[in-house]
């Protein structure tokens, strides 16, 4: 199984570390990418790390992942709560999918308590701050290893 993992980030996450640090912390998305790449090296994974404010780009990357990736870590941001299209795309992907949220969405507004993506995700991480990405990557690596065994 491929050890290529897509790490996908949805709308407004380009502002990470620049606004609302009380909710999302001080790390920027570039910091998250740097830490993910360092961990991926340790885990023997190759990463494609992307962020977009456009739903179709997230969907196109999921389609790309179908062709060549072993797993997906996705923080769909607000698309989590709205996008049947992102769910449909993820349902076409055969490898492990981990949904990752920086904040604890269950402690926030009721509209954040429902996730379309959770209907497909093999695991969900919420409220671990940006460390959640590291945990998600470790889990994807384990699931890829288990499938290969
Ligand atoms: O907690 C998360 O990771 C979220 O996916 C973040 C989304 C939110 O809509 C989800 O309910 C939970 C929002 C991403 C916006 O990111 C920002 C980061 C810094 C400043 C402003 C927005």
Domains of the chain: 4-147 (3.40.50.9100)
Paired residues of 48 in beta bridges: 6
Query: What is d(CA 89, CA 63) in angstroms, rounded to the nearest whole number?
Result: 7
pLDDT score at 69: 98
75 labelled binding-site residue: yes
Give residue 1 CA to ligand 1 midpoint distance, Å: 31
Given the residues 26, 63, 101, 133, the one annotated as active site: 101
Angstrom distances, CA of residue 93 to CA of 35, 112, 135: 25, 24, 21
Give the chain's end-to-end CA distance (angstroms, integer).
Answer: 10
Per-position pLDDT tens, the chain of length 149: 899 999 999 999 999 999 888 999 899 999 999 999 999 999 999 999 999 999 999 999 999 999 999 999 999 999 999 999 999 999 999 999 999 999 999 999 999 999 999 999 999 999 999 999 999 999 999 999 999 98
pTM recorded for the entire structure: 0.98
Given the residues 6, 24, 116, 133, the one annotated as active site: 24
For ligand 1, say whether the CB of 16 is within 6 Å of any of its atoms. Answer: yes
88 labelled binding-site residue: yes
Give residue 62 CA to ligand 1 midpoint distance, Å: 20
Nearest alpha carbon to residue 51 among 61, 43, 64:
61
């Amino acid at each position: 199984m491929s050890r290529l993992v897509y790490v996908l980030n949805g709308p407004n996450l380009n502002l990470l570390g620049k606004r609302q640090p009380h909710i999302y912390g001080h790390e920027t998305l570039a910091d998250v990418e740097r830490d993910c790449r360092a961990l991926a090296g340790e885990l023997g994974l190759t990463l494609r790390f992307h962020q977009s404010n456009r739903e179709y780009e997230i969907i196109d990357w999921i389609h790309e992942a179908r062709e060549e990736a072993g797993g997906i870590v996705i923080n769909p941001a607000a698309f989590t709560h709205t996008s049947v299209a992102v769910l449909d795309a993820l349902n076409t992907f055969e490898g492990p999918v981990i949904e990752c949220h920086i904040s604890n969405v269950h402690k926030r507004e009721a509209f954040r308590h429902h996730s379309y993506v959770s209907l497909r995700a093999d695991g969900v991480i919420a409220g671990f701050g940006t460390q959640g990405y590291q945990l998600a990557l470790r889990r994807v690596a384990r699931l890829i290893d288990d499938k290969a065994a």
